[in-house]
Amino acid sequence: MPAIDEKTALAIAKLARLDLREGLAPGTEEAELKKLVEEFGKIVGYMDILGEVDTEGVEPLYSPMVEPRPPREDAPFTAAAKDADARGAKGAPGKPESSGDPDASFDPDDPDSSAKEDRARWILDDAPMTFGRYFTVPKVV
């Protein structure tokens, strides 16, 4: 089991852009941080039981997906195409899923291109801080 000391814990926290010291009551900060690090170490230590399993020759299973979606067409996705997908995708009860290939249909050339700016408008509206049409952050040196 790797030693999870304070240095390691703080390094991992930094990788994840978290500050373990934040919110700890001043005065007891060091003691609380120690507790946090211990807890982290305990949790990692528990995970070590994985080492008991014989996995010689076993391939990792990263996902249980079955018959996932194939690559899509290189075309914009229109609302009409979406409807076709939805109808095709559900299929009739009991019938095999052939009545609408949900992947067959991204219609090219959305004529309503003026919707483009509006389509993205909500994304900028949800931003906590913008400058004109840009997201902003403190200047990256």
d(CA 107, CA 119): 18
114 binds another protein (CB under 8 A): no
30 binds another protein (CB under 8 A): no
122 binds another protein (CB under 8 A): yes
32 binds another protein (CB under 8 A): no
| Residue 49 φ then ψ, to 5° | -60, -15
29 binds another protein (CB under 8 A): no
47 binds another protein (CB under 8 A): yes
Structure tokens given for 20:
């373990």
Task: State CA 32 to chain mean position distance.
Answer: 31
CA angle 77, 80, 81 (to 5 degrees): 50
**Residue 101 beta carbon to another protein: minimum distance, rounded to whole angstroms:** 8
Nearer to another protein, 30 or 117 (CB): 117
Among 3, 22, 25, 111, binds another protein (CB under 8 A): 22
Among 3, 58, 111, 114, binds another protein (CB under 8 A): 58
| Segment (H or E) for 130 | strand 130-131
The set of residues, in sequence order, having a beta carbon less than 8 Å from that of 140 and lying 6+ positions away, is none
67 binds another protein (CB under 8 A): yes
